[in-house]
Amino acid sequence: NGSSRRRRGQARQLINKMTNPLPTVDWLHVCDHAFRDEQGKLCLIGLFDTLASQELPGRLPMLSVAIGLSDGNGEYEIGLQVTAPSGKAVNMKLPPVQLADPRAKARAVIRLNGMPFEEFGTYAFRLILDGAPIEWPCHYLEHSQIQAPTNGPAPGSMPPPPGSFSN
């Protein structure tokens, strides 16, 4: 029946985890853009940990999350968890990662287009490995509110001369 098949599947997953320990998450970075160049090197452009918005939701046209894994052996289910300041978490499933042997390294880039930041405060970006969020490394992004820019002096008024004070 269905429940015994489910139990057998869960048992296979447990045996796989016991014989195939989770890899090490070497790093996780949030940046404007990440890509591989012609030589295969991973390039990260515009790393950041703050975002300023005048109003909610804050939105970036695109951001990238780059991750590095090592010390694994086999195929691993991965995902990305983004936790808002209120604790609301969004989990995104990603394609599996394959590490051929413990010396192998895996690098992955996740592109998020138009992701809304619906609260002010600290967001946490974590990798999910085989269904469990990894606590470290974790990328924290501070979303803060800024005031609308002022347009300078009133029309027709002149700024004070250098070195003078105005009341």
Distance CA 42, CA 68 (A): 10
Helix and strand counts by DSSP (H, E) for the chain: 1, 12
Question: Quick check: 28 and 106 in contact, CB under 8 A?
Answer: no
Residue 147 CB contacts under 8 Å (≥ 6 apart), including other chains: 54
Q: What is the pLDDT of residues 96-136, one digit of tens each?
A: 999 998 899 999 999 999 999 999 999 999 999 999 999 99
Q: What is the pLDDT of residues 126-164, one digit of tens each?
A: 999 999 999 999 999 999 999 877 765 555 444 444 444
Question: Quick check: 139 and 125 in contact, CB under 8 A?
Answer: yes
Q: What is the pLDDT of residues 85-96, one digit of tens each?
A: 999 999 999 999
Q: What is the pLDDT of residues 12-50, one digit of tens each?
A: 455 555 567 889 999 999 999 999 999 999 999 999 999
Q: Which of 146, 150, 148 is nearest to 50 (CA)?
A: 146
Q: What is the reported pTM?
A: 0.76
